[in-house]
Structure 1
Amino acid sequence: MQLSNEEEEYNLSLSKFESMLKTNKVLFFDSEEFEEIILHYLDMGKSTLAKKALKLALEQHPKSSGLKLVQVEMLIYDDKLEIAEKLLNELYAIEPTNEEIYIQKANICSKRDQHEKAVEMLKIALEYTDDYADVYNLIGMEYLFMDNLELAKESFIKCLEEDFEDQSALYNVVYCFEFLDQNQEAIAYINKYIDKNPYSEIAWHQLGRLYYGVKEYENAIRAFDYATLIDEEFLGAFMEKAKALERLKKYDLAIESYNRTIELDDATSYALLRIGKCYEKLGNKVLALKYFNKTVHEDPLLDKGWIAITDFYVRQKNFQKALFFVNKALAIDNQNKLYWKRFAAINKQMNLFEEAEFGYRKAVEFGDYQLDTWLFWVDILQFLGEFESAIQTLLQASEYFPEENEVEYRLAGLYFMISDNIKAKFHLSNALRLNYDNYILLEDLFPVVWEKKMVRNYIDKHKKQ
């Protein structure tokens, strides 16, 4: 590929400058060459070289406003805002119509969280600039900082009207639409954008994502197909297409698309996991298991991988194998509530109730406050005859579920079991108020309590009320 004259000159300037640094010979560069050299080093994150170049540049061109503006940019980057502001005011006195002065003033305001003032500065810059797209993009970013997504969206749309190839503005427009829950409006906008720019793979990809978000999976796949036709190595589009195909239960095609992502880049644990899930849906247990194992080998910290293997064996009712894998997972991360819940459920299936109780206790300890977790735990405590512990656990659960009849019926049953009839009746009254028909829970979980005539009479009396 041949380089343009501009690129050749740019590369020569860089080589010449780096040669000068090595030999300590002072060579002459014009101010624009210096600007490009400094900005190159800034873009590369080589601030020391950028500062060296700026020092030499200002020695050779002490009156260059362009270089002074680069100096301002570097001062702002280093949070030396007062010095930068002073230098900008000096430049403003000389060149009041230089749009870059207002852009840098806006930059300072933004750094000080004065975003409204920054927008004012950028609106002045619009009066003097030839690069409207860049300024509209900056205005959009300031509105994002202010959480004014509607005005941000308008600014990014104006940016794209000036420069339809500005990909960051395109992403930001879609972000604003999505944040404002305007998915259909976003789809309409991107379709119009594509009418003018049909070869934008980014636009097709974003359109596919939007269609996926509103569950129009066929349209999503069509959009992703266009994105991959334009860019045959668009990994993200193949990944999203595979997800949409899964939603349509086209598992064979989904596997093809996931495999394409693996061909384009190293295998990701996510792609391997999804391939495994697809094979399981197709009834191919051997390949499903193979890919679940690949998933945890690729990323041992991915809990979804271990859960997939564990759940696979649970569905096969091979609880010994399921327990083996959940224990392997816990050896890697013993604070994962999802692992502990499965550990508990598997032990429960194997009638290892003390281990199951320990698992549910750990799941709650590490943040699983779902109702079924509390209830499974309590039912095991009751089975083990630990009524006081079961009551304390339920009282803790009632803080999260204050109006849950299943908690109240269990509390009533447990208090009857320890002969605390006053508290038992209080909770039974609450339970009947919340869901009268569910009194059958007492019969199922507390047959001894259900046999008490006093309890049956209390329930009947509540019905008559």
Structure 2
Amino acid sequence: MSEEPESSYENQVADLVKRYEQMLRGNEQFFFDVDDYQDIVSHYMNNEKHLKAIKVLDIAKAQHPYSFDLLLQESELLIMTGNHKKALALLEKAETFEPCNTDLFLMRASVYSQLGSFEKAINNLKQAIDITVEDVDDIYMNLAFEYENAGKMDEAIVYLKLALQENPKNHDTLYEIAYCYDQAGKLNESVKFYKEFIDNDPYSHSAWYNLGYAYSRMEKFDKALEAYDFATIIKEDFGSAYINKANTLAQLGDYTKAIDTYNEGLKYETPDANVYYYLGECYEKLESFDMALSNYNKAIKTDPFMADAWLGIGIVMDTKGMTPEGLHFVKKAIELQKDNPDYWLVLADICRKSGAIEDAKEAYEKVISIAPENIDLWLDYSDMYFAQNLPEEAIDIISEGIKHNPDKAELYYRAAACFLSIGYDTDTYENLNQALDLDFEKHSQLFEYFPIAKSTIFVLDLIDAYKPA
């Protein structure tokens, strides 16, 4: 049975490298043509033996001083080793040999991109387009990526569409267009684009998938589900479409169907920590805590650095009455994401329920240092003192929260409740007045937190004064 062409080529290169190294060790005179030298250099580059590659190039250039291909390969090696300025100088020299070579402009664009000079990269890619007739769609894609790097999503979309015109079956381009529309905040235009694309190619599973994604981002979940269904009808083993459909079902609160759909997706996808985590969340919402723990554990087994899954285990264990064990997992999540305010709030809540008030206080103070704009922080922190019949301390906390968030009605309603509880009518009136002015609709929060307010005449009168006519 004959060898495959690729295997045969690899054997040829191996023999070539062996012959070169034997001649080098024997200090023999030898000569290889340019193609052979390029193969030897590529072998060393692929195996990250850069010093050996440089030596080969030095010998090769001495024997073939006017080889454009060797100059390009040396430039590639310089780029790989981070010598961008030398690479640019060498490419400038190469340009005197072949000023209209597409690879030269592509390589120079790559250097400028790595240096963060995106406009220069774009200019070189445009020059490459002007002189090339093959693989134009790849150059259009590279142009789009450079515009993305420069934060110019509208321009990126233009070139992605040109790439799609050149190669309508390139699924990657369809996904990239969806990403750019999303980043540009133009989801309506995204929907319009994919609907028009589907009109011309109704069996494009990728187009239906990306239409579903756009609808999901717009929170048009029913339309998203319909689009994902079409995607999976066209491509029955489309794992990503099942996963996204399951995410949508979970957002709608249909956790049982979401679980079934995640499991369907796992038939066609490599097991993924995110999917196990999503399954864990769904089971947790259904209060199937053992199954939630099982899937959270699968998530951290697949990805030990997935902090959300560690946190999920901690929360479920706390819910099951295994608070000390749960605390360990919450702290592990915090080790992985030290500045995640939500994690610290969970820790504070568990410490508070356990009676470890000083530990809870420390956790709340940590959140203040990293996310003072978090409204739940101030509500929960002040409530810890209010629940201990320490309304003055609660007022101090909520007042600090207002300094950080002077436009949040929730904090003024809470302040009004605290002041009312100790009979400070003037302060109650001032805070309630401010809260109603900011957001009248949230006034029920006052009654929910401090029901006595429902029977306080001046509170009811002030609320009535703010009622819409």
Alignment TM-score, normalising by the size of structure 2: 0.73
Indicate if the aligned counterparts of 1:391 and 1:414 stay in contact, CA closer than 8 A: yes
Q: 2:69 aligned with 1:66, yes or no? A: yes
Alignment deviations for residues 273-318 of structure 1 (CA, whole Å, 9 cap, x no partner): 3334455677766544443454456556544335545555677xx5
- Partner of 1:250, secondary structure, is helix
Please, which of 271, 276, 280 is the counterpart of residue 275 of structure 2?
A: 271
> Residue in 1 aligned with 2:399?
395
> Residue in 2 aligned with 1:384?
388
Deviates more, 1:329-338 or 1:433-442: 433-442
- One-letter identity of the residue aligned with 2:450: L
Q: 2:130 aligned with 1:127, yes or no? A: yes
Q: Distance in 2 between matches of 1:464 and 1:193?
A: 59
Structure 1 residues 172-251: aligned runs within 5 Å: 172-180=176-184, 181=186, 182-188=189-195, 191=198, 209-210=213-214, 213=217, 215=221, 216-224=224-232, 226-227=234-235, 229=237, 236=240, 239-240=243-244, 242-243=246-247, 250-251=257-258
> Residue in 2 aligned with 1:430?
434
- Partner of 1:38, secondary structure, is helix
Against the structure 1 CA distance between its residues 192 and 68, is the aligned structure 2 distance closer, same or farther, given a 3 Å change threshold? farther
Deviates more, 1:9-18 or 1:328-337: 328-337
> Residue in 2 aligned with 1:50?
53
Alignment deviations for residues 61-114 of structure 1 (CA, whole Å, 9 cap, x no partner): 222112122223333444545544444444433433333333344445545554
Q: Distance in 1 between matches of 2:137 and 2:449?
A: 70
Q: What's the RMSD between the two structures over aligned residues?
A: 4.5
Indicate if the aligned counterparts of 2:331 and 2:347 stay in contact, CA closer than 8 A: no
Q: Distance in 2 between matches of 1:435 and 1:47?
A: 65
Indicate if the aligned counterparts of 2:40 and 2:56 stay in contact, CA closer than 8 A: yes
Q: Residue 172 of structure 1: CA displacement? A: 3.3
> Residue in 1 aligned with 2:264?
257
> Residue in 1 aligned with 2:22?
23
Q: Distance in 1 between matches of 2:85 and 2:397?
A: 59
Indicate if the aligned counterparts of 1:221 and 1:244 stay in contact, CA closer than 8 A: no
- The sequence identity of aligned pairs, in percent, is 23
Indicate if the aligned counterparts of 2:118 and 2:146 stay in contact, CA closer than 8 A: yes
Q: Residue 426 of structure 1: CA displacement? A: 4.0
Unmatched 5+ stretches in structure 2: none
Q: Distance in 1 between matches of 2:158 and 2:130?
A: 18
Q: Residue 15 of structure 1: CA displacement? A: 0.7
Q: Residue 152 of structure 1: CA displacement? A: 2.1
Indicate if the aligned counterparts of 1:341 and 1:359 stay in contact, CA closer than 8 A: no
Deviates more, 1:62-71 or 1:103-112: 103-112
Q: Residue 407 of structure 1: CA displacement? A: 2.9
Q: Distance in 2 between matches of 1:296 and 1:83?
A: 45
Q: Residue 240 of structure 1: CA displacement? A: 3.8
Against the structure 1 CA distance between its residues 48 and 121, is the aligned structure 2 distance closer, same or farther, given a 3 Å change threshold? same
- One-letter identity of the residue aligned with 1:144: E
Against the structure 1 CA distance between its residues 360 and 80, is the aligned structure 2 distance closer, same or farther, given a 3 Å change threshold? closer
- One-letter identity of the residue aligned with 1:136: Y
Q: Residue 393 of structure 1: CA displacement? A: 0.5
Q: Distance in 2 between matches of 1:403 and 1:384?
A: 28
Alignment deviations for residues 144-188 of structure 1 (CA, whole Å, 9 cap, x no partner): 333222222222333344445666545433432333323214424
Number of corresponding residues: 445
Q: Residue 324 of structure 1: CA displacement? A: 3.5
Indicate if the aligned counterparts of 1:275 and 1:288 stay in contact, CA closer than 8 A: yes
> Residue in 2 aligned with 1:329?
329
Q: Residue 381 of structure 1: CA displacement? A: 1.1
Indicate if the aligned counterparts of 1:280 and 1:288 stay in contact, CA closer than 8 A: yes
Alignment TM-score, normalising by the size of structure 1: 0.74
> Residue in 1 aligned with 2:119?
116
- One-letter identity of the residue aligned with 2:260: L
Q: Distance in 2 between matches of 1:240 and 1:143?
A: 28
